[in-house]
Amino acid sequence: MSLAERDAAVLWHPYTQMQTAPLPIPVVRGEGAWLIAEDGRRYLDAVASWWVNLHGHAHPYIAGRVSEQLRTLEHVMFAGFTHPAAVELAEGLLRVLPDNQRRVFYSDNGATSIEVGIKMALQYFHNRGQAQRRTLVAFRDSYHGDTFGAMSVSARSAFTAPFAPLLFDVQFIDVPVPGREAEVLAQLEAVLTTHDVAAFIFEPLVLGTAGMVMYEPDALDTLISCCHEHGVLCIADEVMTGFGRTGQLFAADYLQTQPDIICLSKGLTGGTMALGATTCTAAIYEAFLSDDRTRTFFHGHSYTANPVACTAGLASLELLLAPESAADRARVEARHAAFAAELRGQSGIAEVRQRGTILAVEFRVAEGTSYFSRLRDEFYALSLERGVLLRPLGNIVYVLPPYCITDAELRQVYDTLLAMRELVLRPAQAAAPADLPEYPHD
């Protein structure tokens, strides 16, 4: 029995309709920007394995540091204890995050970092005697994770529908894309004057799962300033945008007015280990300090600040801050920009969006933009046939590669996007019937 068949007998995969999905591709090795399957086929990982991999697969420096840590200390509970890797990683993060960030709270993935941020904000007001301030504001098309708090501040859709009665109410405003900034500011002001708002949570500059929707720093600065004028906390979900993805180390680096809470994961360990972190200002931290133990932040995970994960985070951060990584990011950004300019205005292309190392191509289809575009499965199959891993968001295909990807490898990705354009331009009668995608939400 093959590895894929053994998998199918015992496993349940995420975002997958298990009845109709093909057998998964069994990957046995990683090398740089490549994944090597059991049958020897190689796949260029153009999406950094769900946006987590920064420096390439099986990176020898990170692997060496992790191996050493495993032989020293694999884990210790983090309530009442600490260890060097947790302290050093927190110190390193606070050195590169915006200056107003003063404390780091560890968790174990992106969704939990969001849960921590939401709970911090709500309990901050509770501890200050303002428990009535519990309304949250979020962007209408946002995605923040699949746990209940994270789902609550995410877009209502088919993916959250089974849980709708259990999600708490959130006030949604539109994304301030170019040309709509004043309208969205008015929406926010209306919410702030009619509700007891605790926090505004947002994906800064790029909404990932919404289709890599992008907006400008000035628009976000205005919204954050408006919130601060009303005493509302701002939570930046930098789970995807952090660690260089947008061109700066963090999307918040583009801003003049900084968020109060920042949520991190994905690239935090360079794609090596599961780890989340939520950082906050001194004012938020101090609201939990008291002789009254009921004002404690009662949140934690068994693997909070796992030493092995923290060590991977430290090693990844060291690589990220090296001049070679900065040069790679600038090179990828320049190649993306050149290809975007080549693609814009071509038939079959609705829009091309790019910020930093993130490139998104929206293909023009008769039914409009949708996760349920008939082309999704064809795009996915075509990319795999060409040895490239891309995971289309319906008719939107994004490229978000490891920084080590070479120019030749990028050209292979771009040529795959051009081949997708040929699919879009084929005669209408040859189009496949509309089917629900098997992976609509990532």
Radius of gyration of the chain from Cα atoms? 22
Q: Do domains 3-56+323-430 and 63-320 have the same CATH topology?
A: no
Cβ(66)–Cβ(308) under 8 Å? yes
Query: pLDDT in tens for each of the 442 residues of the chain?
Result: 899 999 999 999 999 999 999 999 999 999 999 999 999 999 999 999 999 999 999 999 999 999 999 999 999 999 999 999 999 999 999 999 999 999 999 999 999 999 999 999 999 999 999 999 999 999 999 999 999 999 999 999 988 999 999 999 999 999 999 999 999 999 999 999 999 999 999 999 999 999 999 999 999 999 999 999 999 999 999 999 999 999 999 999 999 999 999 999 999 999 999 999 999 999 999 999 999 999 999 999 999 999 999 999 999 999 999 999 999 999 999 999 999 999 999 999 999 999 999 999 999 987 766 676 778 999 999 999 999 999 999 999 999 999 999 999 999 999 999 999 999 998 754 444 434 333 334 4
What does the pLDDT read at residue 374?
76
Is 261 within 8 Å of 121 (Cβ atoms)?
yes
Both tokens of 216, joined, read 């400008």
pLDDT, residue 427, reads 77
Amino acid at 321: L
Residue 431: the pLDDT is: 43
* CA within 13 Å, CB half, 430: 7
Give the number of other Cβ atoms within 10 Å of residue 69's Cβ.
Answer: 22
Q: What whole-number distance in Å separates Cα of residue 45 and Cα of residue 294?
A: 47
pLDDT score, position 206: 98
Give the span between the Cα atoms of 143 and 350, in whole angstroms.
Answer: 23
Which structure tokens are listed for 302?
A: 């068994």
- Topology of domain 3-56+323-430, CATH: Aspartate Aminotransferase, domain 1 (3.90.1150)
Please, what sign has the CA dihedral across residues 282, 187, 174, 180? negative
Evaluate whether 115 touches 265 at the Cβ level (below 8 Å): no
As annotated, the active-site residues are: 15, 143, 237, 266
Query: In the CATH scheme, what is the code of domain 63-320?
Result: 3.40.640.10
Closest by Cα among 274, 316, 300, 305 to 86: 305
DSSP 57: B
Any idea which residue has 């204890």 for tokens?
Answer: 81
Measure the CA–CA gap between 319 and 327, rounded to whole angstroms: 12
> What token pair was written down for 83?
């260890």
Domain extent listing, the chain? 3-56+323-430, 63-320
By the 8 A CB rule, do 303 and 77 touch? no
Dihedral in degrees, nearest 10, Cα atoms 429, 430, 431, 434: 70
Predicted pLDDT of residue 266: 98
Residue in 396, 393, 397 with CA at minimum distance from that of residue 441:
393
Q: Which residues contact 257 (CB under 8 A, 6 or more apart)?
A: 221, 224, 225, 228
The whole-number pLDDT of residue 369 equals 67
Are the C-beta atoms of 308 and 71 separated by less than 8 Å? no
Question: What's the angle, vertex CA 164, arms to CA 158 and CA 167, rounded to 5?
Answer: 125
